Chains A and B, each alone.
Chain A
């Protein structure tokens, strides 16, 4: 089921299976941008991608980065499908705790990842922890890949999502919003 809370009624979103959540709350990137801009104190964009994606691929400059998963590489360790030997991911054990520290219990959270899949996992974890107003930003920051072998952009993340909607993003560092530790 797709529900939507907003001022501008529009047809139900076509939410990909991988993006669906237990809460059934979804927004497009454009809607997320409008909601977060209109009420920045109580509406938070939460970027659950890895720290490395946040800094190298770029990010929404007002988003808080709390990674859901950390990349790992250990030559003797496990591998994920499609990754080199030893490359895997490890769930952030502090994910929910850190979100609770960053966000009020009645605030609205707009969750973003690269294409909406990890975002859905994150929404479900937050729902289990008692959050109720957690929307998944459908298609995420980068959006899906073009699926047209005849296109020079075949395989690139140029189909939908935040960046392709022409919404603002950047590479600047905002330590208060980043998953960082103090330098030794």
Chain B
């Protein structure tokens, strides 16, 4: 059911210390064969809600998106969810098989490495292409830059916007301050 995924075919950002990899399609096939199989979505709660999610996945955010712009990196700063490892430990045993996904395979690799190192998880598989997949890189295409290359959604697998509160584990969060928005310049 799971094809070979030679390490040289996997982008460094998607590699994990456990070396266990599947595609979204393979993950879904595995879940269909065993609907008790646990699938972990480590994206932000906002992605889970607004972008949509697989109905059988449980959301424990690995990191949260801040509103802070780093002009040097030309990126938004992330902050780790301090309760990530504890929440996953409460959900799955360290030797249990779990399949982990994010937007396109990078954050889920970081999450798996943290689970392996901090909590001794041994059977956590990275869903390489994630929920949304990679961006089309073809300037001639009308879909250039859009996430229409691979991943769970593009594989025609089931997803939804409907929320099951039992499948969301929200991190504690203090009220953020937004009043300084757009005052970076």
Contact = CB atoms under 8 A, between A and B. Distances in A.
Interface of A: 50-53, 55-58, 66-67, 70-75, 82-87, 92-94, 98, 101-102, 114, 152, 155, 166, 170-173, 175-176, 178-184
Q: Chain A interface mostly helix, strand, loop or mixed?
A: loop
A82 B163 CA distance: 7
B142 A166 contact: yes
A175 B147 CA distance: 21
Given A51-B67, A173-B76, A181-B68, 11 more contacts: A55-B76, A56-B51, A94-B179, A170-B146, A171-B135, A175-B69, A176-B185, A179-B181, A180-B67, A181-B183, A183-B70
A92 B71 CA distance: 25
Interface of B: 44-47, 49-51, 65, 67-71, 74-77, 103, 135, 142, 145-147, 156, 160-163, 165, 168, 170-173, 175-176, 178-185
Nearest to A145: B161
A83 B175 contact: no
B170 A66 contact: no
A71 B46 contact: yes
B75 A73 contact: no
B46 A56 contact: yes
A181 B184 contact: yes
A175 B184 contact: yes
